[in-house]
Amino acid sequence: MSLIMNICILTSTAGYYMNKDMFGTQGDFTTSPEVSQMFGELLAIWFINEWTKCGKPTPLQIVELGPGRGTLMSDVLRVFSKLNLIEPSKLSVSLVEISPHLSQVQEKKLCNSRTQPIDETDTSNRHYKEAQTLYGSPVRWYRNLSDVPRSFSLFLAHEFFDALPVHKLVINEQGCHEVLVDLNPDECTLRYVLSRNRTPASIYIQKDDPRKSLEISPQSIVIVQEMAARINQDGGIGMIVDYGHEGEKCDTFRAFKNHKLHDPLLEPGTADLTADVDFSALKWAARNPARSGKSNLIYGTVDQRTFLTKMGIDLRLEKLIAASQSESIKRDLKSAHQMLTDPNEMGGKFKIMTLFPVGMEKILARYPPHGFS
């Protein structure tokens, strides 16, 4: 199933993310940054506050994994620029994006210059394009986090991990089996089958996990291990926002098309394939960073409603409403606030977890990260 997810999402010709814009009312789903600028602005304020606690180290790199339309990064950069906290030359933006189409959408939103073509045969170039942001900082695009330069970084992953492939495992009296996707020879359709034997993904099952059916995303674990190692070794702060659970859910793999649930095995490549993020697995990864470092300091998860409320979304809404002349804009702002904070919708379904370097322990014991205490 993991392989078929990878093919459906990422093949260059027909992969779901590769050639189209799937966001908004015309697309298959809407994300929090697309709902309102309030979301990205409050995340930016949070990062600035925590970066200040670290002593405002420069140069500062902001790394976003899976930036979609670039809306979140655009809101974050606007706040950094308005507050005039750092010279543009000391700030850089690194985007980890696999989709050529979305990287163009991001370029249009974030840049005032056209991207420079990169000679990818020169192996010293780890990025595939570069330009300058509207505020004059360099922005580069990478396919993998491991290619991003190492320096003090703010890592942001919003609805990134839910797009990565999962392996579905079933444990029964015969042992541990993986759910695989097979061709139904009679009808030329796809169907699920169980592997005869144990498969490599099973090495990620935790010893004390009581579930008889679970989803494992090795790619997510490896990426968080890399992020965690960089946070401890180079300094930085990580924030992961996604819909998910703390290791109690079993069966969350599903497909969305035109904002409706869709059969994942029908018309491969035309629907968004997704699974809830298992934050207990991401926490394990942050406790066991790559290159055998010490555990990161981990805060959360908290739900989006709690975080945004503690960060002052009610006050921000009031300010935006007061500054607006149009009744329809005021209505839109109120409905966006409701969407982002409703405990039955995004406010309750989305969870936030953050990672800090182990060296920040004493400071954070006195001044815990805002929104998580």
Residue from 54, 98, 224, 237 touching ligand SAM (CB under 6 A): that is 98
**Distance of alpha carbon 87 from its chain centroid, rounded?**
27
CA distances from 314 to 12, 51, 239, 330, 353 (A): 42, 24, 22, 13, 22
Q: Which is nearer to ligand SAM, 9 or 54 (CB)?
A: 9
Going across the sheet that includes 213-216, the strands are 189-194, 175-184, 167-172, 213-216
- Residues 101 to 140: which contact ligand SAM by CB under 6 A? 102
Q: Which is nearer to ligand SAM, 74 or 232 (CB)?
A: 74
CB of 56 to ligand SAM, least distance (A): 26
Q: Which is nearer to ligand SAM, 34 or 130 (CB)?
A: 34
Q: Which is nearer to ligand SAM, 209 or 345 (CB)?
A: 345
Task: Calculate helix-pair angle for 218-234, 279-287, nearest 10 degrees.
Answer: 40
Q: What angle do CA 285, 286, 287 make, to 5 degrees?
A: 90
Residue from 40, 67, 218, 247 touching ligand SAM (CB under 6 A): that is 67
CB of 95 to ligand SAM, least distance (A): 9
How many residues of this chain bind ligand SAM (CB under 6 A)? 18
Residue from 42, 54, 60, 68 touching ligand SAM (CB under 6 A): that is 68
CA gap 198, 209 in Å, rounded: 17
Does 96 engage in binding with ligand SAM (CB under 6 A)?
yes
Residue from 36, 99, 202, 301 touching ligand SAM (CB under 6 A): that is 99
Which helix (H) or strand (E) segment holds residue 231: the answer is helix 218-234
CA gap 31, 72 in Å, rounded: 10
Residue from 1, 5, 33, 242 touching ligand SAM (CB under 6 A): that is 33
Q: Which is nearer to ligand SAM, 141 or 152 (CB)?
A: 141
Q: Which is nearer to ligand SAM, 1 or 54 (CB)?
A: 1
Q: Which is nearer to ligand SAM, 29 or 295 (CB)?
A: 29
CA gap 7, 262 in Å, rounded: 17
CA distances from 159 to 30, 126, 155, 183, 187 (A): 11, 24, 13, 31, 35
Q: Which is nearer to ligand SAM, 72 or 221 (CB)?
A: 72
Determine the residue type at 371.
Answer: G
Per the DSSP assignment, residues forming a β-bridge with 249 are: none
Does 298 engage in binding with ligand SAM (CB under 6 A)?
no
Does 43 engage in binding with ligand SAM (CB under 6 A)?
no
CA gap 215, 185 in Å, rounded: 27
Does 17 engage in binding with ligand SAM (CB under 6 A)?
yes
Does 347 engage in binding with ligand SAM (CB under 6 A)?
no
CA dihedral sign, ordered 93, 98, 100, 106: negative
Does 158 engage in binding with ligand SAM (CB under 6 A)?
yes
Q: Name the site residues for ligand SAM (rule: CB under 6 A).
A: 17, 31, 33-34, 66-68, 72, 96-99, 102, 158-160, 163-164
